[in-house]
Amino acid sequence: RKNMKKKIMTISLCVALVAVAIVGGTLAYFTDTDAKTNTFTVGNVAITLSETDNQGEKFVQNQKLLPGSQSKNAIAKNAIVTVNKGSEDSWVWVELLIPAKLYGSKDEKAESYNALHYNQFKNYLQGYTEDSTNPNAVACAQTYKTSDHQWSLMKYIDTVEIDGNEYARLRTTHKDIVKAEETTSPAFSQFYMDSHVYTENGKYMIPTGTLEKFEEYDGPWEVIVNAYAIQAAGIDDVDTAVATYNAK
């Protein structure tokens, strides 16, 4: 009986081993795998903002402002945008930040009594006429031959605060796509202090939107210029481009 017991146990073990072999065999399918790596070239947008005089030379900072007009004591300041080599074709625009008190009028068509003025187009330049022999105007016309009116009329957008000072923010947009290695005509061309500004007891007195009231001003006399760009691909026009940029 002892021998019989051993045999039963041996048989039972053999059955178990066979079962394992059968289960293992059911997993032996033929298999394979493959993968593809998709490679893309990544685009970029890169611009350069340049400021020049009417001869195309680099703008000199800290020039002296004196009361004047678009034809007297104006300071040439041509802001141009270049879309860099290798960049995507782009929509571009330029914003000005002018101290808010120096830009009392929010209507770009009624700016007569602002303390600080800008001119966008070269036909407004100091001494310029179509048959002008004024060297300053002739130089600008020769340096920047491209049509002035690629840029929209500068418009007031809002007021922003920088370092405790309030600035009026204005914007002009370039109507056409600017391609890589292309340079725009000037977004604006000169600035001047209003002829009505005067000093009293060593303080600047500036108009407040009319000539009926002047106020003392001791803030900065400066203009901050910012240029922007966004890819043209997939964007229909410059207004959509600006909205897309500001929504990002």
pLDDT in tens, 202-241: 999 998 877 888 999 999 999 999 999 999 999 999 999 9
pTM of the model: 0.78
pLDDT in tens, 168-195: 999 999 999 999 999 998 999 889 999 9
Most confident of 28-37, 55-64, 110-119, 142-151: 55-64
CA atoms of 21 and 69, how far apart (whole Å): 101
Q: Would you state the pLDDT for residue 127?
A: 54
In sequence order, what E strands does the chain have?
Answer: 47-52, 67-68, 75-76, 78-83, 90-99, 116-119, 155-162, 165-173, 190-194, 198-200, 203-207, 214-217, 224-231
